[in-house]
Structures are given as structure tokens and as C-alpha cells.
Structure 1
């Protein structure tokens, strides 16, 4: 089994958290105080992150194996099947996000199915060489990704009409709208999604600094996402940020660097890095869950059929952000993400306290 270093895992976790979230920020709550909701959700998610790491450090196996130990083999496998489909759905959901942006703005004439097939081929190719390769690539790409994001953040100040005054007044509608934005939407996306790394943690050479690096990921993610909200609203205003599907892309197109205008190529680079890492990790988690459920020693023969399933799901899921944002996301956050990201891990913790004497005996 190929292992990875904590810094490689940190790079993948960071790109997983920040990449797709910044690119596809579509006004989770495009208001002056949306950045407060992001920071509030980040702080609230820290105990959740501690729970994920605690469960892994206690059992030293991935999430589906913990489920079998805690609930028993039969019930554990049944819950693992739910997680398996959830991971594949999330891989398809991120793929669909990529397709939406590609076909609606960057590549309007490109066949959507061709782009989806390309993503699945790349995903299957990376998984053919184990997830450790993806994590190593993430550590190489992280400085490049951060450099490109920094360009957008810094040069957004040059956009005509840019003003921090656009983020005021905060708390204009009271605390309730901020709480509604933070819970459960921002809590589950992106912070709660970190639980998928419970399927990756066993790849670590040493888990000594796992909790410290995981906290660092949350801290940097929360700060960058909050600043991203401030930056977008300051650049294009609340109304425009609420109207467009991809405000970060809109900001990128408004930046002018000398002779360089409409920095679409910069956004494409960010999009490929930010989304591929997330698709690959969710697909890997689904494959490992499948391996655990059916007691398969090797999952590589499943790559093609699973890639086909993710491809099909990405095509048949919500055809437009006009459906996804107001309808699908709130329902998924409350009735799917919260149970799988929060409730089940808490149940695992409760079961651990009842069984801890037996586990340590």
C-alpha cells in the first residue's frame, strides 16, 4: 500500500475544500454579511473536524470499516452502501458543476457529454495509480493554485467601482439570515465535506500532526472564503453577485492586467485543478466503500463501470443552477448532508463510549 505524507494530505484537503467552493460560489447568501456566515460556519465545524480525526485515530481504519465495527457487520454494510452511493453522487455533482460552468460561459459550443467523458477518463486514469498519486500531484499544484487565486484577489482592486463600502451595512436584517446561511448550507458545504477524508486517512505514513494540519485547512479555508465573499461583493455588488451563477468568474473577466483582458485561461486552470481533485477524492471514497461492502481485495476492475455511473449521474442531475441552487442544495443539506456528515459520526462517537472498554481490552 502506497502511503502519503501529512503535507501531501494537507495539500489535497486544502484544494478539496477551497478549489471548488471559490470557483462555484453562487451566492450561498450573496449579501453584505455573507462573509460572517462563512466564519461562523467554520468555527462551528471545528468540533466536527475533531470528531472525524478522533474516530480515525481511535480505530485506525476508514469510515466504512468503522461503521462495521460500531454497528456490526450487517448494519454497518447497509450504512456503508448509503455512503457509497453518496460519494458517487457527490462526484457526479461536482462533475455537473464543472459542466455547468464550461458550457454556460467558457465553452458554450462544446458538447456537454464530451467534457464529461474527458473528466471521467482523467479521473479513472488517476485512480488507476492509487489515490496517493493524486495527493502527491495536489502538493505540486497547490502553490500554483494559490498563486492564481492571489492574482484574482489582488487585482480585483483594479476593477472600476471596487469599494469595500458595498459590504455595508452588516447585520442589516439581524442575526437570523446569517444563521440560516451558515446552517446547514455553509456548514455542510464545504466544511462538513471534509469527512470524506476518513476514507483517505489510512494512507498516511504518520498521523502525528493530522489534527493540527486539519485545523489549519479549516482556518485558511474560512478566511479565504470570507475574503472571497468580501472581494466579490466589493467588485460587482450584492445585486450582481446574486444574479450571476458564477460571480468569481465574473470578477476574473473584469480584471485587466496591461494588455491582458478577460482572463478566461486563468479561470480554466483554477477550474481544472479545483474540480478534478474533488471528483477524484469522492470517486476514490466511493470505490473504497464498495470494496468494503462487497469484501473486494482490489477495486481497479470497477474503475470503468463506476466512471460510467458517475458520468450518467452528472448528465441526469439538475439541468440548471436555476433548479440546483434554490431547490436541490437546501434539500440535500438538510436531509442528506446533515445525517451523513453530522448525525452518523456523532452516533459513532456515542457507540465508542459504550464500547471503549471492549475495544481497549
Structure 2
């Protein structure tokens, strides 16, 4: 592998954090658990951590291979390739969902009169350019964007605190309905989105500049960002109350709009929109990159061959859903049902295959 294609531990840690933020603060995840939604986030992130440990274990036992290589090695060339192609479609589909999110968010908040087809094309072209320029460019983005993003989130939380908008009593009573609603809200939904999406790093860890797996960096980044997401979830409820936060289309936007009586700051929602753009764009780029990288691995053709065709497919399919309501209904319905197959079932099969392989290796013939 060329030197220029390798990425550092810090870049991987930052990418984990930015990828996990994505569009997550946009929604109130676990809203079914009402004021306990932040506890549902805790459960989801813990389950996601177990899944992450499984993924890291798989990567440690498949050094130098990405997901496609791991599938072909464990399931055989034919079956592995078939599953690999399905994963490439899955990554492209996830990328398309983020493109649509970006388009809808733009027309909802910033550019109400600009056709969504134009804004979505711009986002796809930005991603296409970054992927065309190569891994180094893609992984340099979080180094610039993450500190800026966290600074803005911190600023907004500080303003909410100063204005006295935050009332943590809205998070009580805790465990009102017992443990059941919390578990129902967390599994499988919060595990699937965002925590289970860490699966894409099976395509990325092999780019690390050192031999082995960046375990410490990945886990530290995952834990740090989980705490941040749990806090943001609790914050939305503490500002809006569980009922309003639960029914809002974009609760965090509504939370920030409570600052509208600040005399010296106008249109803070622009700031929120930009934060969400950054998160969504990175997520969309990573899924797009994984689809391209996967197809490149399966066909043996260079990465650049596939950047345009995959981009065209992602852009074209982003118009399939009729409107935002249908987009969200599919995203929180059928999509979440198939996610566990890709995020949990296949990795478990891979782990079993790796264990059986090492068992047979050890037994003397």
C-alpha cells in the first residue's frame, strides 16, 4: 500500500467522533421512553460498545484486510463476494439517505426556494471530489471540522445555560415506566442508528499507518462521543420537555430557537444547520467512500473508476422517496429492521468463522 493512503490514529479517532455525531443530535432518539430517552441512549451506546469490541476483534484477526477481504477470506471467494456486493449496496443506500437528509434540511431551513435537486447535487459533488482526491484528504477533514463543531455545540449549550432555558427537572421522574420502555426504545433502534453504524470502520481500520488495529483510539473516541450524544439527548428534553421534544421534527433546532429573545444574536438556527450539514456530509462521504472502496476491491479496478458511477447512483436514488415524511418513515421503519442483519448478524457469523478456523488450525492432524 502506498504511504499516502495511510491515516493516523488521531485521524481515525476524530473520524469516529464526527461520524457518530452525524445527524444524531437532529432527532430525539429513544423518544418513546419520554423523559428517560437519555437512559435509552445509555443502553444503546453500551450495546453498541459490545458490538464495537466484536468488530475490533474481527479486525485484529484479519490484519490488513478490509470488510470485503474479510468476507471473502471467511466465507470463500464466491459467497464472500456476493455478501460483499450486498454490503456495497447497503453503504450506497445509507449514503443516499444522508444525501436526502441534507436536501430536506437545506430546503427546510436555509434555501426554501432553491430546488432540492440542485442542493443535493452540490453535496454529492463535494463528496465525489473529496473521495477522488483520496483517503488522505477524506481523513484530514475531521481534523479541521470536529474542533469547530464541538466549539459551536459548546457555545450553544453555554447560551442555553445563561438564558436559563435548561431545566433538568424535566428529566424526572426517572424510570417512570420501569426498565421496559427504555429497553424497547433502545433495542434495536438506537443500536442500529447511530452506534451500530460503526460497522463501516471494518472498511477503514486497515488504512491505519501502523500494523494492527487502533483499538485504544477507537474506543476512547467512541466513549467520548457517546457521552456527548447522551448529554445532547438529555439537553433537548431539559429545554423542551419530553412531549414537545418527542413530537418535534427537528428538536435541537427547536431547542436553539428558544434563544430567540437574545438581543445580540440573530438567527442562531443557521449555526445549528451548519453543524448538522457538517455531520451529515461526513457521514454521507464515508458511506459513499466505503461503497466505492468495496466495489474497487471486488472488481480489482482502481478506486477512481467507481467514484462517478456510484455517485450517480446515490444521487439518482435520493429522489425515490416521495417526500420527507416517507423518507423518515422508511428510515425509522424498514431500514432499522434490516440494519441488524448487516451490523450484528454478519459480524457474528464472521466471528464464529474466525473461531472455527483457529480451532482447526490448532488441532494436530
Bin of the TM-score, shorter chain as denominator length: over 0.9
Output the CA distance in 1 between the equivalents of 2:183 and 2:140. 37
Structure 1: any 5+ residue segments left out of the alignment? none
Q: Residue in 1 aligned with 2:353? A: 351
TM value normalised by structure 1: 0.93
| Superposed counterparts of 1:246-285, under 5 Å | 246-255=250-259, 258-285=263-290
- Cα shift at 1:109: 1.3
Q: 1:47 to 1:193 in 2, by over 3 A?
A: same
Output the CA distance in 1 between the equivalents of 2:140 and 2:361. 34
Which stretch of the first structure deviates more once superposed, 155-164 or 85-94?
A: 155-164
Structure 2: any 5+ residue segments left out of the alignment? none
Q: Residue in 2 aligned with 1:341? A: 343
Q: 2:295 aligns with which of 274, 290, 295?
A: 290
Q: Residue in 2 aligned with 1:38? A: 41
- Cα shift at 1:71: 0.5
Q: 1:20 aligns with which of 23, 36, 42?
A: 23
- Once the two structures are superposed, what CA deviation does each residue of 1:269-317 show, in whole Å capped at 9, x if it has no partner? 3123211111111001001111122222x02122222111111121213
Output the CA distance in 1 between the equivalents of 2:263 and 2:362. 65
1:112 aligns with 2:152: no
Q: Is the 8 A contact 2:105 2:273 kept in 1?
A: no
Q: Residue in 2 aligned with 1:213? A: 217
- Once the two structures are superposed, what CA deviation does each residue of 1:129-188 show, in whole Å capped at 9, x if it has no partner? 112211112112211111011112222224565311111112222211111111001011
RMSD of aligned residue pairs (Cα, Å): 2.0
Output the CA distance in 1 between the equivalents of 2:114 and 2:357. 55
Output the CA distance in 2 between the equivalents of 1:238 and 1:102. 26
TM value normalised by structure 2: 0.92
Q: Is the 8 A contact 1:159 1:254 kept in 2?
A: no
Q: 2:71 aligns with which of 53, 67, 71?
A: 67
Q: Residue in 2 aligned with 1:167? A: 171
Output the CA distance in 1 between the equivalents of 2:164 and 2:317. 41
- Cα shift at 1:243: 2.2
- Once the two structures are superposed, what CA deviation does each residue of 1:304-346 show, in whole Å capped at 9, x if it has no partner? 22111111121213622x3344554232222x11011001001
Q: Is the 8 A contact 1:101 1:246 kept in 2?
A: no
Q: Residue in 2 aligned with 1:49? A: 52
Q: Residue in 1 aligned with 2:204? A: 200
- Once the two structures are superposed, what CA deviation does each residue of 1:222-273 show, in whole Å capped at 9, x if it has no partner? 2111111111111112222122211111122322555112213312331232
Output the CA distance in 1 between the equivalents of 2:173 and 2:333. 26
- Cα shift at 1:44: 1.5
- Cα shift at 1:120: 0.8
Output the CA distance in 2 between the equivalents of 1:103 and 1:307. 21
- Cα shift at 1:58: 1.3
Output the CA distance in 2 between the equivalents of 1:360 and 1:155. 61
